[in-house]
Amino acid sequence: MNAKERVKAAIRFNNPDKVPVFNLIAGDVYPLPITYSKNWKPGWNEGEEGLFPHIRGVFDWERPNWANKNPEFEGNKWRKIPHEEIDEWGCIWNMKGNDQNMGHPGRTSLLDWEYYEDYIEKYTPNADDKTRFEFALKLKNNVSEDHYLMIILPTFGPSQVVAAMRGFNTYLLDHRNHPQELKQALELVADYHVKLMKASFKYGLNPDGIMLVDDLGEQKGPFFGPKMFKKHYESSYKYIIDEAHALGMEVHHHCCGKIDSLLPVLIEWGLDAIELDSPRMSGYSDLNPYRGKIMFWACVNIQSIYTLGTPEEVEREVWHMVRNLGTKNGGFGAFFYPTPNDLRVPQKNIKAFRRGLEKYGDYSKIPSHWWDYPTTEVWNDFEVPPLPPL
């Protein structure tokens, strides 16, 4: 199989030859990042004084006057001091300085729903801006058509965008206090995702899939129950999924938190794959009912084994992911956390992840009785059980 065939076979439980790999460096998935608009001018609007662009990496920022007058802001010096940043949706982010990650949502940008119309007129990004797709088109020209092309958007999904606008606690209360206004905002963000997907075909990217990035839970459970999730999010989530399918794309959803109870709803809506950085947060036992019903992308658990385990434990854990998240007909993909330095993952553990895939990622090499060997019922997040006997 080539890379694209392998990924699609895993999604459809159609007997891939190997576990597909999603790795920014090398793998079966080739990510095509959609960028921020080159016409975006953060810090220029009234009320944005002191707000820097919220973006990692290089950004050719046309600076407003206030940012040109302070020697502390020369070059990228402003990144090394505590500051606030603004994204394309007008959301504010707190940066401590010398941040090695994306920072954290800060003060509320949409204080009251009565200001919603003015807010979205000011801060809804233009999805059809051709400059967003220029970098991805250059990347596409350097890769063979055998790869699975996945667009990666510069923004979060509906839940996280609206939560950042409203402030997280207020956002949760909006489900009860302002359900119609919340739904309207979620649908706006979903429509932006759909327009970006359509524009990616218009400008020649022709992707196979999209990665939707939207965290829906915390350590011990989702932010809301399945009934509330379905009530408030069907018109936004299912819309994205249906429109992607109409374009011939699959939807892959990165989601942090213990979200297993939401999977029946996502599966009902047609989600093709869920990506979990910490699969043990939801738990293999609680994810087990959904094996064979949705594809799982997963990294070796970043909260414990990947970061704190030994290389031998990381290697063995690969088998437990293959066994507990996939089936012998597919349904599992290996996801390499894209910024391991943020987590301080030892290089030896990243190499062990690769070795584990060489040993247990080739379906033809897996002993048939391993699939029927009893799995562990009670998992300790910091322990990796032994392999089944040969």
pLDDT tens digits in sequence order for the chain, 390 residues long? 999 999 999 999 999 999 999 998 789 999 999 999 999 999 999 999 999 999 987 778 899 999 988 888 888 888 899 999 999 999 999 999 876 678 899 999 999 999 999 999 999 999 999 999 999 999 999 888 899 999 999 899 999 999 999 999 999 999 999 999 999 999 999 999 999 999 999 999 999 999 999 999 999 999 999 999 999 999 999 999 999 999 999 999 999 999 999 999 999 999 999 999 999 999 999 999 999 999 999 999 999 999 999 999 999 999 999 999 999 999 999 999 999 988 999 999 999 999 999 999 999 999 999 999 999 989 999 999 999 998
Q: Give the residue from 160, 64, 142 showing the smallest Cα distance to 104.
A: 160
| 326's tokens | 């996939």
- Domains of the chain (ranges; CATH) run 3-38+116-371 (3.20.20.210), 51-87+90-105 (no CATH)
Measure the CA–CA gap between 144 and 141, rounded to whole angstroms: 8
Tokens 């609007």 label which residue? 45
198: Cβ contacts below 8 Å, ≥ 6 apart: 243, 247
Give which of 189, 157, 153, 162 is closest to 91, Cα–Cα.
162
44 token code pair:
């220029």
User: Token pair for residue 321?
Assistant: 């992911």
**Distance in angstroms (rounded) separating the CA atoms of residues 49 and 81:** 16
pLDDT computed for residue 99 by the predictor: 67
> Which pLDDT score is estimated for 75?
84
CA 236 to chain centre: 17
User: Residue 179's pLDDT is what?
Assistant: 98
φ/ψ of 276, rounded to 5, equals -120, 120
Helices (H), the chain: 3-11, 65-68, 116-123, 134-140, 158-166, 168-177, 179-202, 226-233, 239-246, 263-269, 279-282, 284-287, 305-308, 311-325, 340-343, 347-360
pLDDT at 102 (0 to 100): 85
What is the pLDDT at residue 356? 98
- The angle subtended at Cα 125 by Cα 122 and Cα 128, nearest 5°, is 135
What pLDDT does 240 receive? Answer: 98
Pair 203, 137: CB distance under 8 Å: yes
Helix, strand, coil tally for the chain in percent (to 5): 45, 15, 40
